[in-house]
């Protein structure tokens, strides 16, 4: 269906990435947000707090991130599309409820604007050090979706898409910004509402009694939804549960639940994963990058090309699930992957694992606080093609 | 041609960021160029030197930070002292002439001065100093067109202050044109 | 010959989930019985009543109620319930959990939900211990009582929960013991009717851990103690209702007042400031069956 025009600020704007996320959420039909202030992500909820009362939404600031990250789950079960937003220490606090969202298959969006860490780290400066946390941060086994915008425009586009994916797969989706993308201001074009595709919640058409909240819909791995108040008298628990949602603490139930929750992401990975490829034809080295680093890497590639390097680019738009097939295929064709990232080696581990020795993987690591020097990336590329 | 790097410095509360937004917006929305604005976010309180950084380019911007500005706007002595060493050797410095006394500039830097505070006071509102500077910048630099800058002022300032701000812009712009004609 | 009648409680329970996990003599089931009676008398549309629990023995209540029920994370039932209610204002939302869940790990949410007058009925079953994990000390364990993590007796000052909730602005505060079944049901009924943050504390026995470890007998002995040692003082000054080890228990309805709820305050503020530009939140309504 199309976006509700009441929320959509159609036109060209000069927006920072954080504010652009807010607009993406509103366009997606999000009408509930809970938050707790933290730099550098607070601007997202500040804008929602200002905009929501004018578009029929509700924002509530809570006493901490634990509260905010579960209030959104309550709101989703109440029938709203909901988002919470955080950074650094707040993301750590939210891990428990990302796990709850995963096990209860709650379609919700978390936005994390990454700053330098660990702990309080660099509140106002960028890093990309939460990539593995986004994937594995909550205890136990689960799969979620994580997206990495590299511009304010993509903050709009990918926040919108995050909501759509959340509904499609009944899964928490994390939008992983970094401080630079969150705080930089660029042109953002918001299309007319009738050109914005919005995935509505997949409410069941089954009657209460016939419906099981955790039973995959026919021909799908994803169960349909209901909300509180519609007469289904559902039970939703963070315990391992059966298809009715009843606690079932045994090996069979655990196996069935965890494996289907994995499968709905893994088996749909081709539909979920998006990436951007450039200049791969004849490339001897491929730079794999994401977020702000992908733009700095582009600069590095220009410098390396001036010195004769044949280098192409593979930009991760979906970080999780990871584009495994694509990296494996590329690893058969190139001499090396160059992986610049604002952390001490996270996505480069994934690239290296998939390359499996078929080609070299050269991480270009940076502890964060600012972006890479493009020259350093260029040198790594030249080393890769040597 | 490559990117043009602009750094606007002043005291917190002078409207430094807003000036940056107007210049960036003029380029990106109304001149059909690309621009990226970044700000130094720090624990600095209101009243200390702060800056807005704008990169303007014909092509999409890859590196968003300003490293060696081609153009620098200084609205306070503190900001001048803090940021001027970053200027390129052939760069251009635009100053508020009563608030900034430039010294020890890199070689070849061209300096243009405008009595922005006095102009703003003549218009009845000292607050529009930053918009006088934007007008002045538009005239001297040519990085953004007059038309684009005007539009950006109009749709950025509070609606009730558009007339005042457009006047401020025009006064700064006229002063810049006058200096260029003399030069 | 009398006709065989179904237990009137049955329609409120998920019978396919019984028997419950609760021990013989546990007070939680008693409170659930009272809750079903309050629901009957409230004549509420049960499709519009949602129950939210945290973790622990009382945290399992949600799972046994035949309502839209949410068994959340430890301590976080209140913020979940707040989100649920804000997003679906048609619902009557009840939080049902224990003393450890609500006042220790969830203490921050408890005080803030009362302060902002979130429209929730909170039932706190206080058995002075963490039952699920084996009887550790909680913020309400009386000084000198033995718990598995205070083997020589507790020594910290306790929370006087009615006083805490009163101070934070709850609009309805009552305390009863598991002995006072009629009064509990009546208070729950009042709580279901009223708007804003309503808090009912129910002192209840945990025979397996708290009573046994403190050599206080079994559930029945505890009921006798409740009967003998409780004093009804409606409208009591909540500063004076603190509990000491195995001593007098002041029970009653302590607070019943009016204050704008979170939603009402929100609506008023936006209406005052934004006027016609304010677009109030619309309830998602009932999803029509295809």
Q: Is C68 on the interface with A (CB under 8 A)?
A: yes
Residues A76 and A178 in one domain: yes
Mutation pick from A9, A13, A14 vs chain B, by most beta carbons of B within 10 Å, is A14
At residue B46, the pLDDT reads 59
Instruction: Indicate the residue among A135, A160, A195 that finishes a domain.
Output: A195
Indicate whether C282 belongs to any domain: no
What gap in Å lies between CA A135 and CA A208, rounded to an integer? 35
CA distance A374 to chain B (A): 8
Same-domain status, A9 and A151: yes
Handedness of CA A70, A75, A81, A82 (dihedral sign): negative
A212 touches chain C (CB under 8 A): no
* Contact across the interface for C84 and A67, Cβ inside 8 Å: no
Torsion (CA) A244, A246, A249, A255 in degrees, nearest 10: 20
Cβ-Cβ contacts under 8 Å, A180 against chain B: 38, 64
Q: Do A278 and A156 fall into the same domain?
A: no
Sheet hosting strand B110-114, strand order edge to edge = A11-16, A185-190, B34-39, B49-57, B4-11, B71-74, B92-96, B110-114
* Residue that terminates a domain, selected from A173, A195, A217: A195
Note whether residue C62 is domain-resident.
yes
Chains C and A touch (3+ CB pairs under 8 A): yes
Inter-chain touch C83–A73, beta carbons under 8 Å = yes
* Cis ω for the linkage preceding A40 (within 30 of 0): yes
Which chains form contacts with chain C, at 3 or more CB pairs under 8 Å?
A: A
CB C117 within 8 A of CB C171: yes
Q: Do A186 and B34 touch (CB under 8 A)?
A: yes
The Cα A53–Cα B75 span in angstroms is 38
pLDDT digits (tens, 9 = 90+) for C73-121: 999 999 999 999 999 999 999 999 999 999 999 999 999 999 999 999 9
ipTM field: 0.97
For residue B78 the two structure tokens come to 């503190």
Count the domains in chain A.
Answer: 2
Which whole number is the average pLDDT over A44-52? 98
Q: Which of A270, A305, A278 is nearest to A294 (CA)?
A: A278
User: The domain spanning residue A47 has which CATH number?
Assistant: 3.40.50.970
Residue C289 is assigned to a structural domain of this protein: no
Closest by Cα among C114, C93, C96, C30 to C58 = C96
User: Mind telling me how many Å the CA of A295 is from chain B's nearest CA?
Assistant: 5
The CATH H-level (homologous superfamily) assignment of domain B4-182 is: Pyruvate-ferredoxin oxidoreductase, PFOR, domain III (3.40.920.10)
Is C2 domain-assigned? no
Which residues 6+ apart lie within 8 Å of B148 measured at CB? B26, B27, B29, B30, B31
Closest chain A CA to residue C48: A229
The CATH number of whichever domain residue C83 belongs to comes to: 3.40.50.970
Residues of chain A with Cβ-Cβ distance to C87 below 8 Å are 31-32, 58, 74-76, 78-80, 82
Among A16, A183, A296, whose Cβ lies nearest the Cβ of B63?
Answer: A296
pLDDT band at A127 (very low <50, low <70, confident <90, very high): very high
Do the chains contact at A184 and B38, CB–CB below 8 Å? Answer: yes
Contact A63 C109 (CB under 8 A): yes
Q: What is the mean pLDDT of each run of 10 residues along chain B (183 residues)?
A: 93 93 98 95 67 97 97 96 94 97 90 98 96 98 98 97 98 98 87
Residue C8's pLDDT band (cuts 50, 70, 90): confident
| Nearest-by-Cβ selection for B36 from A184, A299, A371 | A184
A22 & A155 share domain: yes
Domain membership of residue C35 (yes or no) is yes
**Mean pLDDT confidence for A224-229:** 97
Tens-digit pLDDT profile for residues B111-164: 999 999 999 999 999 999 999 999 999 999 999 999 999 999 999 999 999 999
The confidence score (pLDDT) of residue C288 equals: 61
Distances from the Cα of C56 to the Cα of A184, A250, C60, C99, C195, angstroms: 46, 19, 7, 9, 27
- C79/A66 CB distance under 8 A: yes
Residue A268 DSSP SS3? coil
Print the domain residue range for C163.
10-258
Cβ-Cβ contacts under 8 Å for B71 (sequence gap 6 or more): B4, B5, B6, B7, B91, B92, B94, B137, B141, B143
Nearest residue in C to A208, CA atom: C289
- Quick check: A74 and C67 CB within 8 A? no
Distance from C-alpha of B95 to C-alpha of A299, rounded to nearest angstrom: 32
CB A341 within 8 A of CB A316: no
Taking residues C211-217, report their average pLDDT: 96
For chain B, what are the domain ranges?
A: 4-182
How many domains are there within chain C? 1
Confidence (pTM):
0.97
Encode pLDDT of C239-286 as tens digits: 999 999 999 999 999 999 999 999 999 999 999 999 999 999 998 877
Domain that holds residue A80: 5-195
pLDDT exceeds 50 at position C290 = no
Size of interface A-C (CB pairs under 8 A): 165
């Amino acid at each position: 269906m199309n976006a509700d025009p009441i929320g959509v600020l159609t036109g060209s704007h000069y927006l920072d990435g954080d504010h652009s996320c807010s607009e993406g959420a509103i366009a997606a039909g999000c009408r509930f947000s809970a938050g707790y202030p933290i730099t550098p992500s607070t601007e997202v909820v500040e804008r929602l707090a200002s905009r929501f009362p004018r578009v029929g939404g509700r924002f509530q600031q809570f006493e901490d991130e634990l509260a905010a990250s579960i209030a959104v789950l309550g709101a989703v079960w109440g029938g709203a599309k909901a988002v919470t937003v955080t950074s650094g220490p707040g993301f750590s606090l939210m891990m428990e409820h990302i796990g709850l969202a995963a096990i209860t298959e709650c379609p919700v969006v978390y936005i994390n604007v990454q700053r330098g860490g660990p702990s309080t780290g660099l509140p106002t400066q960028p890093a990309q050090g939460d990539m593995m946390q986004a994937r594995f941060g909550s205890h136990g086994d689960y799969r979620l979706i994580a997206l990495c915008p590299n511009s304010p425009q993509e903050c709009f586009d990918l926040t919108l898409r995050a909501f759509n994916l959340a509904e499609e797969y009944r899964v928490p989706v994390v939008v992983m910004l970094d401080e630079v993308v969150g705080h930089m201001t660029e042109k953002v074009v918001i299309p007319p509402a009738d050109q914005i595709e919005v995935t509505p919640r997949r409410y069941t058409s089954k009657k209460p009694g016939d419906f099981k909240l955790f039973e995959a819909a026919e021909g799908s791995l994803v169960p349909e939804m209901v909300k509180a108040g519609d007469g289904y008298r559902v039970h939703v628990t963070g315990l391992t549960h059966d298809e009715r949602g009843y606690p079932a603490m045994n090996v069979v139930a655990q196996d069935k639940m965890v494996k289907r929750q994995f499968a709905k992401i893994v088996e749909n990975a081709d539909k979920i994963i998006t990436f951007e490829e450039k200049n791969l034809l004849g490339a001897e080295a491929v730079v794999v990058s994401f977020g702000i680093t992908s733009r700095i890497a582009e600069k590095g590639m220009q410098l390396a090309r001036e010195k004769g390097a044949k280098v192409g680019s593979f930009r991760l738009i979906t970080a999780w699930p990871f584009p495994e097939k694509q990296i494996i295929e590329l690893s058969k064709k190139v001499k090396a992957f160059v992986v610049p990232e604002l952390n001490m080696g996270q996505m480069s581990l994934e690239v290296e694992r998939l390359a499996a020795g078929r080609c070299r993987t050269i991480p270009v690591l940076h502890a964060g606080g600012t972006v890479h020097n493009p020259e350093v990336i260029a040198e790594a590329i030249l080393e890769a093609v040597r | 041609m490559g990117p043009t790097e602009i750094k606007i410095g002043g005291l917190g509360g002078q409207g430094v960021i807003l000036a940056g937004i107007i210049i960036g917006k003029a380029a990106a929305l109304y001149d059909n160029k690309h621009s990226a604005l970044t700000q130094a976010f720090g624990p600095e309180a209101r009243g200390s030197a702060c800056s807005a950084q704008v990169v303007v380019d014909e092509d999409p911007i890859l590196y968003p930070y300003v490293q060696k500005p081609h153009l620098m706007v200084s609205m306070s002595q503190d900001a001048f002292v803090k940021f001027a060493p970053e200027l390129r050797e052939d760069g251009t410095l635009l100053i508020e002439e009563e608030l900034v006394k430039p010294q020890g500039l890199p070689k070849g830097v061209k300096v243009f001065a405008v009595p922005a505070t006095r102009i703003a006071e003549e218009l009845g509102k000292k607050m529009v100093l930053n918009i006088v500077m934007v007008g002045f910048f538009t005239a001297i630099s040519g990085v953004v067109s007059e038309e684009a800058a005007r539009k950006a002022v109009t749709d950025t300032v509070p609606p009730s202050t558009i007339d005042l701000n457009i006047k401020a812009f025009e006064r700064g712009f006229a002063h810049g044109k006058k200096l260029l004609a003399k030069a | 010959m009398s006709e065989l009648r179904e237990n009137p409680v049955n329609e409120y329970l998920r019978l396919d989930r019984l028997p419950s996990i609760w021990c013989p003599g546990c007070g939680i089931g008693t409170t659930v019985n009272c809750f079903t009676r309050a629901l009957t008398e409230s004549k509420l549309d049960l499709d519009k009543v949602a129950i939210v629990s945290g973790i622990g023995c009382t945290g399992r209540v949600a799972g046994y109620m035949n309502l839209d029920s949410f068994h959340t994370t430890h301590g976080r039932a209140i913020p979940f319930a707040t989100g649920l209610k804000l997003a679906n204002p048609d619902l009557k939302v009840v939080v049902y959990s224990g003393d450890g869940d609500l006042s220790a790990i969830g203490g921050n949410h408890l005080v803030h939900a009362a302060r902002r007058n979130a429209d929730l009925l909170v039932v706190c079953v206080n058995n002075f211990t963490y039952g699920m994990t084996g009887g550790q000390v909680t913020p309400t364990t009386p000084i000198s009582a033995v718990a598995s993590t205070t083997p020589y007796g507790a020594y910290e000052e306790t929370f006087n929960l009615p006083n805490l909730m009163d101070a934070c602005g709850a609009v309805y505060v009552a305390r009863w013991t598991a002995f006072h079944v009629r009064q509990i049901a009546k208070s729950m009924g009042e709580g279901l009717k009223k708007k804003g943050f309503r808090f009912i504390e129910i002192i209840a026995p945990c025979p397996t851990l708290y009573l046994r470890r403190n050599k206080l007998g079994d559930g029945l002995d505890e009921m006798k103690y409740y009967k003998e040692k409780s004093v009804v003082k409606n409208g009591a000054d909540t500063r004076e209702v603190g509990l000491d080890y195995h001593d007098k228990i002041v029970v009653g309805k302590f607070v019943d007042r009016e204050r704008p709820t979170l939603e009402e305050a929100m609506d008023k503020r936006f209406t005052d400031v934004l006027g016609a530009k304010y677009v109030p939140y619309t309830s998602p309504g009932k999803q029509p069956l295809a």
